[in-house]
Amino acid sequence: MSVLEVRDLTVRFGESVVVDRVSFDLDVGARLGIIGESGSGKTLTALAVIGLAPEGADVSGSVRLDGAELLGRSERELADLRGDDITMVFQSPLTSLNPLQRVGRQVAEPLRLHHGLGRAAAADEAVRWCGRVGLPDPERSAQAFPHQLSGGQRQRIGIAIALACRPRILIADEPTTALDVTVQREVLDLLDTLIAEQGTGLLFITHDIALVAQVARQLMVMRAGAVVEHGDVGDLVGRPQHDYTRQLIAAARATGLDEQDVAR
């Protein structure tokens, strides 16, 4: 059953088409990766889905959540959905987190806004989430400001904020780009575990096919704003049909893509 249905999503800036008739479905608990080079339109596709396309963008097509159209809704209506039904983890946790606010309060805020928890209950739940995402001494970590945490710890807080309200869909936009390889794996393992526990659908955006193969089951390849290939991760890695996909896989193999990991 599809929870998210995107049809002919197009984003224009004046006469320039930067996302060109993109269509895909995301089923309950499914994991779809979107891969492409910088400027391919993958991040803009995700932002358009949740109503965060940049000012001046003309967005058309259809985005349906549980059959209800999202395009054309007011910002207030979309804000109610974000953090509750659909959430997003951004590429840079240092810029997405409020530098002047303790991280526990930032985890607690969506719980108060969307689940109606009182201040004390939300604070307790925030501490629990600091523990769930693997931060040391959760009570102390909840009192930290973002700059007092490492990059991996900040990204764990971003995941806690995104998943605390048990959303149906999580969009992860290059969530491990700024992290070293060891921390990348830890964060991906954490993300894998938590979305599996909650049955959350995942839209995972990256430029790295080896990375997306660790968490996604379906893969959509974008180039110049358009989808050039879409299918099972294992099929695309083993039998790519488009020249661009072949190039991505060849580059990934040169840096250690393991087909056994893809097939697991």
Enumerate the domain spans of the chain. Answer: 2-89+168-263
pLDDT digits (tens, 9 = 90+) for 155-185: 999 999 999 999 999 999 988 877 888 888 8
Higher pLDDT, 258 or 35: 35
The mean-pLDDT minimum among 161-165, 191-195, 201-205, 249-253 falls in 249-253
Question: What DSSP string runs through the chain?
Answer: -EEEEEEEEEEEETTEEEEEEEEEEEETT-EEEEE--TTSSHHHHHHHHTT-PPTT-EEEEEEEETTEE-TT--HHHHHHHBTTTEEEE-S-HHHHS-TTS-HHHHHHHHHHHHH---HHHHHHHHHHHHHHTT-SSHHHHHT--GGGS-HHHHHHHHHHHHHTT--SEEEEESTTTTS-HHHHHHHHHHHHHHHHHHT-EEEEEES-HHHHTTT-SEEEEEETTEEEEEEEHHHHHHS--SHHHHHHHHHHHHTT--HHHHH-
State mean pLDDT over 107-129.
94
pLDDT digits (tens, 9 = 90+) for 59-111: 999 999 999 999 999 998 898 888 789 999 988 777 789 999 999 999 999 99
**pLDDT at 250 (0 to 100):** 87
State mean pLDDT over 21-37.
94
**pLDDT at 223 (0 to 100):** 95
CATH H superfamily, domain 2-89+168-263: P-loop containing nucleotide triphosphate hydrolases (3.40.50.300)
